[in-house]
Chain A
Amino acid sequence: MAAEPPAAVELSGITKRFPGVVANSDIHITVGRGTIHAIVGENGAGKSTLMKILYGMYRPDEGEIRINGSAVRFTSPQQAIGAGIGMVHQHFMLADNLTVQENVVLGAEKLYGIGGKATAKIREISRQYGLEVDPEALVEELGVGDRQRVEIIKVLYRGAKILILDEPTAVLVPQEVDELFGNLRQLTAEGLTIIFISHKLHEVLSVADAITVIRRGTTVASVLPADVTARELATLMVGSELPSPETRESTVTTTPALTVRGLTVLSAAGRTLIDGVDLTIHKGEVLGIAGVEGNGQAELVEAIMGMRPAAGTVELAGDEITAWSTRKRREAGLGYVPEDRHRHGLLLEAPLWENRMLGHQTESPNSGRGLLTTGAARKDTERIVEQYDVRTPGIEVAAHALSGGNQQKLIVGREMSHAPKVLIAAHPTRGVDVGAQAAIWDHIRQARHDGLGVLLISADLDELIGLSDTLRVIYRGKLVADADPATVTPEQLGLAMTGAAEQPSPAVERISAAVEELKKEAPKGEQA
């Protein structure tokens, strides 16, 4: 896209060093006004750091930022907002119990007050940019796509002309993604500029006007979507061939490893979060659960782990464990890779070897007869660091010092070290760099080959399809559909995840029919 000077955003020679690490080095990006500019790179490549610099959260050590031609030096996000830059974060920052209008106005009361004038302004924005949202609606009643629109309205309300969207599609199903892209195009048509951060290549190719690739903290290429294929882009991103999560030959047996019957979970307020879920995972089987986040996946996992009261029965390798405590379940061979490793998987301030004990503190080599056996635990931690390629200078390092991928490798290594019968893996590769991702997949495949049953929950549909032997779709706390990972495409899965199969029963047949139909006209998915 020929950008008429001056460019909306011009970054030149941006370098940011964290103590001992160069997070960004000599970055050059020019974003033309009224364009969608994608910045791609694998996790940990330095995209987020760069955006935090542009948004005033970090100050660059070197280099220059120009907004609409004039050099700026932000020391806080407030200044960036003042210069017309808005950030839509990956995780929504909305108060559920407030209305859309209240959420938008919150913190910006000085602009248009909090009454009718503000409402009128919101309506004006939503009309002008085609962002349909009812200002009076409660946020908790909104779907994910709507919430994202609220976030966008929030930054527009504050006068943003340049929008940064950080992985905006991570939480959306494909249909919602399309809707978002429609919105983005309309925004640029109105003269706004969008910086779009992603690592999903086919999305980038379909929506961006220009693409900048970042690898290892620096810009390696600036290309136009018409000039590259997804594979070329991927190669630019990782500097080598992409790994694939695909599982080849089946190792599924007929011996049930984990059987769940009629599992029902209620919220504290009495709302049904998990509604009569039945599932069986056999030895050597990976059962993938697809679903839009917030449809009960976390509750399902926590109920199986015994962290949450639930009705129904859970059987582990023939033992009825419904009444067992979390500890007993773990001792009996239930491994757990939690969705949020910082919240559920690690003691960030503690050294790696103590983190190696966490979750298995009652088991050898961590303890015996009530006393910790720190020597043995340390030694075994060395082994895990070695075998699972945890990049660390030593095991006395606190967990927070490691990168996300290395933390995750430590967790996977720890869970695999106690010969689990069943592994509950929630988003096992989220926030993990490509190399570590491949390693984690390999470990899961190897364990599956050895007879491990795996319950896999992931938002990465490629990972789900590639790794699972069986796929189930969860929607509003119910398993609403099955899919065959050998044939299903991400788009079909995405449709099922929106609850399209919900209405009349039998649900499974409906979705199968829908999937069949979709297959015929399916746009070929870039399945790298």
Chain B
Amino acid sequence: MGKEVILRQARGMQLLAVASAAVLLLGVSACGGGDDDSGTGDGKTKVKVGLAFDIGGRGDKSFNDAAAAGLDKAKQELDVEVKDLAANATESENDKYERLKLLCTSGYNPVIAVGFVYAGADPATGPVAKAAKECPDTKFAIIDSVVPGSNVASLVFAEEQGSFLVGAAAALKTTSGTVGFVGGCDTPLIKKFEAGFKAGAAAAKAGTKVLAQYISTPADKCSGFNDPAKGQTVAEGMYDQGADIVYQAAGGSGSGVFKAAKAKGKLAIGVDSDQYNTADAAVKDVIITSMLKRVDVAVYDFVKSVSNNTFAAGTLTFDLKKEGVGYSTSGGKVDDIKPKLDEYKQQIIDGKVTVPTAPTS
């Protein structure tokens, strides 16, 4: 008997396995969702804009919503037809390519890919590059990545510059001398935020201690952009270590950071949009400023360029100069140091200060 015990299986296990597989499948793709239908449809003459969101889609109160805001603005002001599609958490590069291709073959032009995931592992052959090749007459834009192609505009941001300013703000505002940075995912893109933040803090007040931590890695599919509970835990840890201001570059997880700040009676800095206005009313008073990454501006400008035929392929960097990045003042918590911050801003614009794009330590 001893031996066969090894082989004997509870038959119930089979059902369990089925159930768990089903739950996994259901759970894993239970995101995405809401999309708008374009209202007016009278025409051939109208520009039809197709936009493919990153995982999370509309309603993430951060990156995707910023892109959506730009799209909505374009729809209103430029009188274009729009269609947006969301990505699934489990999909492959091929799915992303197919989504872009579906948009361009359905007559959408331009097509905007939101997020570096659309560049793929190898931007030269990834989803955007492949779709652009497949639909050579369609104008493509990709946000946060550089993709080659004569019909592709790569819209990237100087996040390090904006982060420098909020870093300076944090250093000027801290009373404990320690501030924190929470990144959503340990990728080069988010490292730019960290690098700028650290540089800004050091420039404003030498000796300011900056704690930095990432919630996830690409290996867990950057789940840290969508995990408020974990964001809260990490931020709480930082506050317990003496930080009194934490800068979050963690997308949807940011709400957890704000909650932690509220609970501990500390402060936080938002990211991407002006989060003093978009965050939960209960926690807004902890947000002293937000690093603005004007994805909305990039999207709107791009659509505009296509509709008035000034599209230009290649890399377009949205920096302080172009007002593509910046910091917010809603709530008035940084009004006192605004002159100082604007001084740094001018120095960066003038090229007197160069902000690193990768953290030094």
Contact = CB atoms under 8 A, between A and B. Distances in A.
Direct contact, A vs B (beta carbon within 8 Å): yes
Interface of A: 268, 302, 307-309
B12 interface: no
B11 to A, nearest CB: 13
A302 B5 CA distance: 14
Contacts of B2: 268, 308-309
B1 interface: yes
Contacts of A268: 2
Contacts of B1: 302, 307-308
B352 interface: no
Contacts of A302: 1
A447 to B, nearest CB: 28
B4 to A, nearest CB: 8
The 7 closest A-B pairs by CB, nearest first: A308-B2, A308-B1, A268-B2, A309-B2, A307-B3, A302-B1, A307-B4
Interface of B: 1-4
A268 B2 CA distance: 8
Contacts of B4: 307
Classify the interface of chain A: helix, strand, loop or mixed: loop
A302 B1 CA distance: 8
Interface of chain B, main secondary structure: helix
B178 to A, nearest CB: 58
9 contacts: A268-B2, A302-B1, A307-B1, A307-B3, A307-B4, A308-B1, A308-B2, A308-B3, A309-B2
B340 to A, nearest CB: 76
A302 B3 CA distance: 11
Contacts of B3: 307-308
A308 B2 CA distance: 6
A308 B4 CA distance: 9
A96 B200 CA distance: 73
Nearest to B3: A307
B5 to A, nearest CB: 9
Nearest to A343: B4
A302 B4 CA distance: 12
A473 B202 CA distance: 92
Contacts of A307: 1, 3-4
B330 to A, nearest CB: 66
A132 B268 CA distance: 78
Given A307-B1, A307-B3, 7 more contacts: A268-B2, A302-B1, A307-B4, A308-B1, A308-B2, A308-B3, A309-B2
Nearest to A299: B1
A309 B3 CA distance: 9
Nearest to B4: A307
A286 B253 CA distance: 78
A309 B2 CA distance: 8
A207 to B, nearest CB: 37
Nearest to A344: B4
A80 to B, nearest CB: 28
B321 to A, nearest CB: 74
B121 to A, nearest CB: 42
A30 to B, nearest CB: 43
Contacts of A308: 1-3
B7 to A, nearest CB: 12
Nearest to A309: B2
A268 B1 CA distance: 10
A8 to B, nearest CB: 40
A307 B1 CA distance: 7
B1 to A, nearest CB: 6
A439 to B, nearest CB: 30
Nearest to A298: B1
A80 B329 CA distance: 80
A422 B223 CA distance: 64
A309 B5 CA distance: 13
A308 to B, nearest CB: 6
A164 to B, nearest CB: 30
B9 to A, nearest CB: 14
A268 B4 CA distance: 13
B8 to A, nearest CB: 10
Contacts of A309: 2
Nearest to B1: A308
B289 to A, nearest CB: 66
Nearest to A326: B3
A308 B5 CA distance: 11
A369 to B, nearest CB: 26
B91 to A, nearest CB: 39
A206 B111 CA distance: 95
A205 B1 CA distance: 40
A307 B7 CA distance: 13
B10 to A, nearest CB: 16
Nearest to A302: B1
A309 B1 CA distance: 9
Nearest to A307: B3
A148 to B, nearest CB: 25
A479 B3 CA distance: 26
A330 to B, nearest CB: 15
A68 to B, nearest CB: 41
B124 to A, nearest CB: 48
A308 B1 CA distance: 6
B14 to A, nearest CB: 14
A271 to B, nearest CB: 13
A269 to B, nearest CB: 12
A517 to B, nearest CB: 40
A308 B3 CA distance: 7
A501 B309 CA distance: 109
B227 to A, nearest CB: 45
A268 B3 CA distance: 11
B70 to A, nearest CB: 61
A348 to B, nearest CB: 13
Nearest to A268: B2
A116 B4 CA distance: 42
A389 B12 CA distance: 38
A510 B4 CA distance: 40
Nearest to B5: A268
A36 B4 CA distance: 43
A321 B282 CA distance: 79
